[in-house]
Amino acid sequence: MIKSNSDHWSPAPLASERDLDGAAAAAGVSPAELLVAIRSIQEHPGRPLAKDGQAEQLMRERDRALQWAHELLEELTELRMVVRDIETESAVAPLLARRSVSPKRLMAPGPTLEELDLILQAALRAPDHGNLQPWRVLEFRADQRADLADLFEQEKLRRDPLASKADLERARAHATLAPVLLGFVVSPKARTKVPVREQWLAAGAALCNLLNAAHQLGFGAIMLSGERCFDPVLSDQLGLTPDEFLAGFISLGRIAQEPPKRRHAMPAEVWSCWLPRESRAIRT
Ligand SMILES: Cc1cc2nc3c(=O)[nH]c(=O)nc-3n(C[C@H](O)[C@H](O)[C@H](O)COP(=O)(O)O)c2cc1C
């Protein structure tokens, strides 16, 4: 192969014999060999500049280089797909990682007022047909918890006049355990074209955004209802109108203890492709 002994190969035309001698010297071949190579190019454009016997080896090297480049390209394509998968997954990773955390696994501090404001902004971004906000939250501040515990205890006694001391303590604990406690109230709006069932769905979507926002801010949270939510006296004591529903209580705080793992359904369990009725008849 013609080699240059300089880093800067000059492709200037070889005008004279002196130039030919210089070029041959630079290439490490004799002037005669260089002439043969030049003629060979002129006669067979595209033929490699090689001494006899070197052409095959060069071709093999070229094939190996091409093969290598091809394999590299395939690997790069695979890598790009892996990176794309990771990017896609990481976008939903916070949603996949959210877990409900029971009040006994929570500890102070709960979200500050600013963080609560942010969490509620996220809840207000949930899809909401007619922009009705058919829900609201009640915050039970620390100095109201003892009063709330009294109401929970009374409700338990209404339901079960023979409730044990331990039962009543448990009912009171639901009012006091969580660092931050919210009541989630569904208030479907009357006199609107939006069906009530869609308003419930909108409220559920808001609840979900609220829980996910809390998770994103590093808090543990859980929505719990229980039979007390169906007690009209308690709902009235909490200031709900007769048209509103006490959907549950949301506990929020830092996670003191990770919740146990739970089985999650696979997408296939909730997924199917619709077929026209005639096709279904053929299949069965
Ligand atoms: C409206 C509503 C009410 C709920 N009430 C209760 C409840 O009273 N008791 C309970 O154990 N879980 C209740 N849950 C379920 C928990 O909040 C939680 O979703 C469940 O334990 C699954 O945990 P995960 O959210 O980590 O998947 C309720 C969920 C919703 C949406």
Q: Are residues 24 and 165 in the same domain?
A: no
Among candidates 69, 28, 68, which has minimal Cα distance to 49?
A: 28
Average of pLDDT values for 177-187? Answer: 98
Residue 223 Cα: closest atom of ligand 1: 17
Q: Would residue 24 count as lying in a domain? A: yes
Number of domains in the chain: 2
Q: Are residues 181 and 245 in the same domain?
A: yes
Q: Would residue 267 count as lying in a domain? A: no
| pTM as predicted | 0.73
Token reading at 105? 């696994």
Query: Could you read off the pLDDT of 255-283 as tens digits, one per residue?
Result: 999 999 999 999 999 999 999 988 776 65
- 170 and 83 in contact (C-beta within 8 Å)? no
Q: Would residue 211 count as lying in a domain? A: yes
Query: Could you read off the pLDDT of 103-162 as tens digits, one per residue?
Result: 999 999 999 999 999 999 999 999 999 999 999 999 999 999 999 999 999 999 999 999
CA atoms within 13 A on the CB side of 186: 21
Query: Could you read off the pLDDT of 188-218 as tens digits, one per residue?
Result: 999 999 999 999 999 999 999 999 999 999 9
The pLDDT value given to residue 50: 59
Please state, in angstroms and rounded to a whole number, the distance separating the CA atoms of residues 26 and 6.
7
- 227 and 110 in contact (C-beta within 8 Å)? no
Nearest CA, atom 14, ligand 1? 224
Q: Which domain holds residue 44?
A: 17-49
- 100 and 259 in contact (C-beta within 8 Å)? yes
Residue 259 Cα: closest atom of ligand 1: 26
Adjacent-strand bridge partners of 222: 251
With cut-offs at 50, 70 and 90, classify the pLDDT of residue 11. very low
CA–centroid distance, residue 13 to ligand 1 (Å):
83
CA–centroid distance, residue 110 to ligand 1 (Å):
19
C-alpha distances in Å from residue 153, one per residue of 101, 156, 170, 176, 234: 23, 5, 9, 12, 10
The one-letter amino acid at 162:
L
